[in-house]
Amino acid sequence: MMSAQTAKLIVALKEFPIIAIVRESGPEEVVRSKVETLIEAGVLALEVTTNSTAWQKIVREYSSQVSMGVGTVNTIAHVNEAHEAGAIFTVSPGTRAEVIKRSLELGMLPFPGALTPTEVLLGVEAGAEFIKIFPAGQLGINYLKALLGPLNTVKFVPTGGISTEQAGEWLKAGATAVGLGSDLTRGSTEEIRARVAALKSHIASPSKAAQ
């Protein structure tokens, strides 16, 4: 059964289909600043990776303000820690059935990483609704289109090596959402805000565009 929080995430991704990814091993203040800036700029879904400084503390502190997930979730221990911190989704670089199933048991949406059709199907069979195509930037938009031919019911979230300028093209090609990391979160507070604003002006749900 879907929780109210995971339902909120699905609605958020329909409204603004970007998952902002914070991967930062520097001082905790830097991680905190990036997260706060992204939230203030209007990001609706945010992922902090398990190799970021103080990730559990950050997730716990900001999970009430945004649909918060944890990335680089490779083990069941990571899943448990993410849930305890208040995350509502997990993101992994690969497809591990036990990680997917444990996430679902705890009421979180899993986003397993996949590269090949076989890996995609393994993720779907384990219960994943969303599949992260990784590394998507190196494969290109045509690879997503090729996957969507036989796998058109899968909700793909291309991630890795995608620029903010390219995000809209991936969505037009059939992606459900796009994961954006360093190209979105690098630089100053003002630069991050400007990138989010540019994304929001170019990527709008039909309901938003009609307003």
List, by residue number, the catalytic residues: 47, 132
User: Which regions of the chain does DSSP assign to beta strands (E)?
Assistant: 18-22, 45-49, 67-71, 89-91, 109-111, 113-114, 130-133, 155-158, 178-180
Angle, helices 55-62 vs 76-85, to 10°: value is 40
Q: Where are the alpha helices (DSSP H) in 42-116?
A: 55-62, 76-85, 97-105
CB-based contact 51:73 (threshold 8 Å):
no
Structure tokens at 140: 């290109």
51 with 77: CB under 8 angstroms? no
Residue type, 11: V
Q: How far apart are CA 52 and CA 120, in angstroms?
A: 27
Q: Are the beta carbons of 16 and 46 closer than 8 angstroms?
A: no
Q: How far apart are CA 25 and CA 126, in angstroms?
A: 31
CB 107 within 8 A of CB 87: no
